[in-house]
Chains A and B, each alone.
Chain A
Amino acid sequence: MKPSEILTPIKQRYGTAIQRIDRLDDRRLVLHVDAGALKSICRFLFRDLDARYIAGIGADDRPYSGRFMVAHNFAFDRDGLLASVLAMLPADAPEVDSIAGEVPAASWSEREFHDLVGIVPRNHPNPKRLVLPDGWPDRVHPLRKERPWNDRPDGYDEDRPFAFDPAPPGCVVVPLGPFHPTLDEPAHFRLYVDGEIVRGCEYRGFMVHRGIEKLAESVLTYNDIPMAAERICGICGCVHNVAYAQAVEQAASIPVPPRAEYIRTIMLEIERLHSHLLWVGLAGHILGYDTLFMHCFRIREPVMWIAEKISGNRKTYALCLIGGVRWDITPELHDELDQVLNRLEAQWRPLVSALLEDRNLRRRAAGIGVADRALIKEQGLIGPVARAAGIDIDCRRDHPYAAYDRVDFDVILAQDPDVWGRISVRAREVFESIRIIRQCLVKLPAGLLQAPIADELPIGRIGMSSVEAPRGESHHWLITGENHRPRRWRVRAPTYQNLQGIPAMIRDQRLADMTITLGSIDPCFSCTDRLETVDVRTGAVRVCPPEELRDRLRQRWNEPTTP
């Protein structure tokens, strides 16, 4: 379907509520609509046209247009189209109808712009604080343009507790976190447990919110931001780096030289290799299969070395500048990378066949953390979580970027919407990555690494870009601005959507399955988490040592069947 074919029904239905339609290129649309019609248009896109929800954005546009701005982004995966539905709100009453009732996947995005920009989503089903620290004063919104990036507002109260929902009757509260000693950011889950069974949970995370978007809007410049972007996440950093650069390039219509596109593809796939190997190892570790963990890390290490040879760092490759890349693949690196891939493939193949035929592992992981098609649609789940359920989405193919349209690869699917399916998808995707890198090495064209950019970048243009990270789609949206920096830059990492599916995925499962369910979406996790049990009736706190949790988890190996 062409953009025009999608637009026709929208135009017919909403007519004058659509003020303007910008076609950024053949695969990007921006619909400027009346704020009053926003909710209904979003519902129409999500329900009737079956678009996938990506992210919601709030921006303070007062210095430029005198108004606030909200946008909701949707993807038409089959048609390779990204669309942003944008509405302006008056400066004195920044309120908009919440769409979270119609599009549940938008819930966090709306809570986020409420916190950061102070745009109120009217009638939001769960209008709680999401991003800012608990003690942050209520009326201070850091992404408003009058607040400085190094804001130290009055009225900060470190001791203010977060208002958690009351536990359902008869349930015990089990807090999980905030420290995850083996991986990833601190995060806090509050599980409502009835005996062994988890009945629900509430998430209080965003403890790693470092204000990167604000830094980008007020301190850094276009070419500094890629380096900040890759520090959003230490595991899939290169994805953010590339996604940001592509969003700017698209906004400013900067053509990227083909050699740079191929090198971007190679580095993204190297990153996917290391991330998948890391994750499969960790999943094994959580399930008590430490042999797998050690093997994965052994096999993975040469990938880190070659990344270091190419970019000078094992992680945080500092790859992109606007319009190109900084590192070249020299002929020596070319050969070495080839050898690394050969060895990797030779070692990974027997491990995967052992893994996928391991009946114990299968019994342990099957039926755990189920995310069915309905949940995936409602919450906008992506990446291996969706592909494990047989949903055929992959940004590399659906919204091609870099050199992905010039290489040949399969999108790996499974028909088990559970932890087992995710393990199987990610273990097999490693081979596709190897295939992609090999093709890129063969096809790598000669030429420039960096497009010459003589002029200032244009101001006020919108760019968006989706990049398939190892865990799912990372989406970047930005408006270019003055002083060599974007006015607004919004990043939506894959875990942002996938975490929203967790409450449904763990409901009515055993407490011992919590860590692997959480782990299976790869927010990273830990079996060595600090776990406190609070008896709701007496208020007594018992610290449950992580070993106990792990032992409980491992005991489940020995149980005959899963009830």
Chain B
Amino acid sequence: MLQNLCQKMFRRSLWVYHANSGGCNGCDIEVLNVLTPYYDVERFGIKLVASPRHADVMLCQGPAMRSTAQALRRAYEAMPSPKLVFAVGSCAGGGGLWYDTYSVLGPVETVIPVHYYIPGCPPRPEAILYGVALALGLVDKQVAATRIGHAAFPVPRYHPEDLRPEGGLAIYQRQEKI
């Protein structure tokens, strides 16, 4: 559905605005790389623009931070509709390694709507190109969606030392952490 809409709404050149809301700039340099001779995104009519007011698409890097949330929201609001938002990299898509620290709000979707996710840390320039081309309907999707099931018992993502074996099961014992 979204893809059809995209094909209808964004038939011609896409103008892209690039916002780093708090990433490590690994993703930034790969986005930049997409513009340069080897990948040359301009052959698809895609162009980086400086102001959100000129843009059709926003590429977000980095998690949503407390300190930039407002600016990100303003940039999103400044873009004319119809607009698309791509979350580039694992920070933007899922919050990254620091998704729950005190200064991070989480993935960018906690602040603005996101339409496409390009995973990777950082994603390769090819992956970024592919993601954008996919959204535009220039290429077909090559992967099928799967549901990732949860493990049967809660495995703590951190603090493996909190696990206690009991009758063949591992019990997660939440300790008070300083």
Q: Chain A: residues with CB nearer than 8 A to chain B?
A: 63, 132-136, 142, 145-153, 156, 158, 178-186, 206-212, 214-215, 218-220, 227-228, 231-235, 237, 278, 293-294, 297-298, 301, 304, 313-316, 483, 524, 528-530, 543, 545-547
Please, which residue of chain B has its CB at the minimum distance from the CB of A178?
B71
How many inter-chain residue pairs (CB < 8 Å) link A and B?
166
Residues of B within 8 A of A (CB): 17-30, 32-33, 36-38, 48-51, 62-63, 65-71, 75, 96-98, 100-104, 121-122, 124, 158-159, 161, 177-178
Chain A residues with Cβ below 8 Å from B49 are: 528
Docked CA distance A166–B25 (Å): 32
Report whether B25 and A158 are in contact in the complex, using a CB–CB cutoff of 8 Å: no
Chain A residues within 8 Å of B100, by CB: 149-150
Instruction: Find out whether the CB atom of A315 lies under 8 angstroms from the CB atom of B51.
Output: no
Shortest A360–chain B CB gap in Å is 23
Cβ of A148 and Cβ of B38 under 8 Å apart? no
- Known contacts A136-B66, A545-B51, A294 near B26 by CB under 8 Å: no
Contact B30 A208 (CB under 8 A): no
Given contacts A186-B71, A294-B37, contact A207 B25 (CB under 8 A): no
Cα distance A30–B25 when bound, in Å? 35
Q: Which residues of B contact A237 (CB under 8 A)?
A: 24, 26
Chain A hits for B121, CB < 8 A: 231, 313, 316
Q: Quick check: B26 and A316 within 8 Å, CB to CB?
A: yes
Smallest CB gap from A302: residue in B = B38
16 contacts between A and B (CB under 8 A): A63-B178, A178-B68, A179-B19, A179-B71, A183-B20, A185-B25, A186-B20, A186-B68, A208-B24, A228-B97, A233-B26, A234-B122, A235-B26, A235-B29, A313-B121, A315-B26
* Measured CA separation A294–B32 after assembly (Å): 11
A158 and B70 contact, Cβ closer than 8 Å, known pairs A294-B37, A298-B37: yes
Contacts of A219 in B (CB 8 A): 158-159
State whether A483 touches B161 (Cβ < 8 A).
yes
Across the interface, do A210 and B32 meet the contact criterion of CB distance under 8 Å? no
Question: A210 and B103 in contact (CB under 8 A), knowing A63-B178, A158-B66?
Answer: yes
Contact among B23, B50, B51, B159 with A234 in the assembled complex (CB-CB below 8 Å)? B23
Q: Which of B26, B33, B102, B124 contacts A211 (CB 8 A)?
A: B102
Q: A524's closest neighbor in chain B, by CB? A: B25
Contact A133 B50 (CB under 8 A): no
**Which of the listed residues B27, B28, B62, B102 has the most CB atoms from chain A within 10 Å of its own CB?**
B102
Chain B residues closer than 8 Å to A278, beta-carbon distance: 29
Complex: A217 Cα to B157 Cα, angstroms: 16
Asked whether, in the complex, the Cβ of A181 is within 8 Å of the Cβ of B18, the reply is yes
Q: When A156-B66, A186-B21, A218-B177 are in contact, do A181 and B37 touch as well, CB less than 8 Å?
A: no
| Beta-carbon contact of A314 and B122 below 8 Å | yes
A136's nearest neighbour on chain B, judged by CB, is B66
Contact A208 B124 (CB under 8 A): no
Across the A-B interface, give the 3 residue pairs with the lowest CB-CB distance, nearest first.
A234-B26, A211-B101, A297-B36
Q: Is the CB of A297 within 8 A of B33?
A: yes
Q: Is the CB of B28 within 8 A of A234?
A: yes
- Residues of the A chain whose Cβ atoms lie less than 8 Å from the Cβ of B70: 158
Which of A181, A184, A294 is within 8 Å of B17, CB to CB? A181
Contact A231 B32 (CB under 8 A): no
Closest chain B residue to A131, Cβ basis: B103
Measured between alpha carbons, how far is A306 from B48 in the docked complex, in Å? 28
Contacts A212-B98, A218-B178, A530-B51 given; does A186 touch B22 at CB 8 Å: yes
